[in-house]
Structure 1
Amino acid sequence: MADTKTNSTAALVAELNGLLADHFALFIKTKNFHWHVKGPRFRDLHLLFDEQALEVRDQIDLIAERVRKLDAETLTSLGTVGKATKIKDQDSATLAAEDMIAELLADNETVIARLKGMKDLAEQAGDNATDGLLDDWTDMAEQRAWFLRSLLA
C-alpha cells in the first residue's frame, strides 16, 4: 500500500509542477497581451489582461509551496517550465484583440482540464489539502475563462 501512495504522490507532484509551468507560461502570455493589445477596446482589455495576469501570478507561489509541502522539488528554470507546460508560446506582438482573447480562453481551458484531471491524483495520494486547493484554483480559472468567453459572444 505504501508504494501505491508513494507512486500516487509522485504523479500528483509531477502534475503540480506541470500546473506551475502552465501558470508561469500563462502569466507571461497574458502580460504580453496586456502590453500589446490595440484597438477600440484597448482600455478594457488592457485592464482585464492585467487583472488576469496578476491572479495567475499570485497562484504561482501557492502551487510551488504545495509541491514543497509534499517534500518534493519544484521547477528550477525557464527550461523546466518550457518542458512541463501545456501552454503554447505566442511571440507575436501584433495579434488582433479578438485573437488574444480566443488564445487566452483556450489556454485557461487547458489549465482547467489539467486541474480537473488532478482531482483523482490528489484523492489517490490521500492529499486532502491539495484536493481543496484544486477546487479553488479551478474556480478561479473557470472565472477567467467565463470573462474571456463572454467577450467573444
Structure 2
Amino acid sequence: MKASEELAKGLQAVLVDLIDLSLVGKQAHWNIVGPNFRDLHLQLDEVVAAARLHTDTIAERMRALHAVPDGRSETIAKTSSLADAEEGLITTGQAVDAIVAALDKTVATVRGIYDAVEKADAATTDELNQIILQLEQFSWMIGAEKMKPTKA
C-alpha cells in the first residue's frame, strides 16, 4: 500500500510532535530543580525513551507506506504543535506543567488524525493506539504531582 498525501501528512505531524516531545522532555530533564527532583528526573527519561521509540515506529511505518519522514531540526522548529521549552533552570512544578502540556498536545495530534488514518490504513491505528495509551498514562502519572486530593 502507498500512503495518500493526507495519510503521509498526518503521520508526519505525529512524527514531528514526538520528536519535539523528546526534546522538550530532555530540556526539562537537564534543567529541573526543586522538590521531588530525582523522581521527576527519572520519569522524564521514561517519557523521552517512549517518545523516541514511537518516533522510530512512526517513521518506519511511513517508509513502509512509501512516505518520506522528515525529522530535520528546521522541520521540527517550523511545524511542531508543542510549546517551546523554557530556557534555563525550571522548578519541578513548572516542568510538570510543561511536560503534561506537551504530552497532551502530542496525544491531541494523534487523536486529530486517527479517524482519517483508520479509513486510509486501519493497520496503522494499532501504532497510534499504543502512542495514545502510553502518553496518556504518562500525562496522568506526571500530572498527579500537582493534583489535589478530594479530601484534605
- Residue 130 in structure 1 maps to residue 124 in structure 2: yes
Which of 89, 105, 109 aligns to 2:104? It is: 109
SS at match of 2:30: helix
Q: Offset of 1:131 from its aligned partner?
A: 1.3
Which of 106, 111, 119 aligns to 2:114? It is: 119
Partner letter of residue 99 of structure 1? Q
Give TM-score scaled by structure 2 length.
0.89
Q: Give RMSD over aligned pairs.
A: 1.5
What is the alpha-carbon distance in structure 1 between the residues aligned to residue 132 and residue 70 of structure 2?
21
Greater per-residue helix proportion: 1
Structure 1 residue aligned with 2:142: 148
8 Å contact kept, 1:105–1:149: yes
Q: Give 1:3-18 correspondences, 5 Å limit.
A: 9-18=4-13
Partner letter of residue 88 of structure 1? A
Q: Offset of 1:19 from its aligned partner?
A: 0.9
Instruction: State percent identity of aligned pairs.
Output: 29
SS at match of 1:35: helix
Q: Size of the alignment, in residue pairs?
A: 146
8 Å contact kept, 2:35–2:92: no
- Residue 54 in structure 1 maps to residue 49 in structure 2: yes
- Residue 45 in structure 1 maps to residue 59 in structure 2: no
8 Å contact kept, 2:21–2:106: no
Structure 2 residue aligned with 1:3: none
What is the alpha-carbon distance in structure 2 between the residues aligned to residue 124 and residue 97 of structure 1?
41
Give TM-score scaled by structure 1 length.
0.89
Q: Offset of 1:83 from its aligned partner?
A: 2.1
Structure 2 residue aligned with 1:25: 20
Do the aligned partners of residues 100 and 121 (structure 1) sit closer, same or farther apart at CA in structure 2, a change above 3 Å counting? same
Tell me, which stretches of 5 or more residues in structure 2 are unaligned?
A: 148-152
